[in-house]
Amino acid sequence: MIGYVTLGTNDLERSAAFYDEIAGILGHSRVYTTERTVGWGAAGKNVMMSVITPFDGEPATAGNGSMFGLPVEREEQVQQIYDFALANGGKDEGPPGPRGEQFYCAYFRDPDGNKLIAYLMRS
């Protein structure tokens, strides 16, 4: 349903380094870099995520009520992403753990204040 998502940043280099690590944990890599944008994805998949400096030149701000989900394959990846985020300028929004019987996740904000969730849906 979603083809790609962009998150605004005020420091492209910092944001790119932050998401390079998270992409690596998920088995993804950079698929493009431009003067204003860095994007990540996986070979053979049409879904992509990128960080971008705003086109209008105004500061990037986090959307109130906006959140981007990072699906994982194992609970350990939730912990890895959460630990990395908090150790590298991210903020805690809810530690790793179960949320109901089938949902395991952690909530955090990136260094620009964008809210994300790393999650696993159990069968």
User: pLDDT, tens digit, for every residue of 8-22?
Assistant: 999 999 999 999 999
Per-residue pLDDT at 40: 96
Rounded CA separation 68/7 (Å): 9
Per-residue pLDDT at 44: 78
Rounded CA separation 22/46 (Å): 18
What confidence tens digit (pLDDT) does each residue in 102-115 have?
A: 999 999 999 999 99
Rounded CA separation 62/9 (Å): 9
Per-residue pLDDT at 46: 75
What fold, for 4-55+66-121? 2,3-Dihydroxybiphenyl 1,2-Dioxygenase; domain 1 (3.10.180)
What confidence tens digit (pLDDT) does each residue in 31-43 have?
A: 999 999 999 998 7
Q: What angle do CA 55, 45, 93 make, to 5 degrees?
A: 60
Q: What are the structure tokens assigned to 111, written together?
A: 């260094």
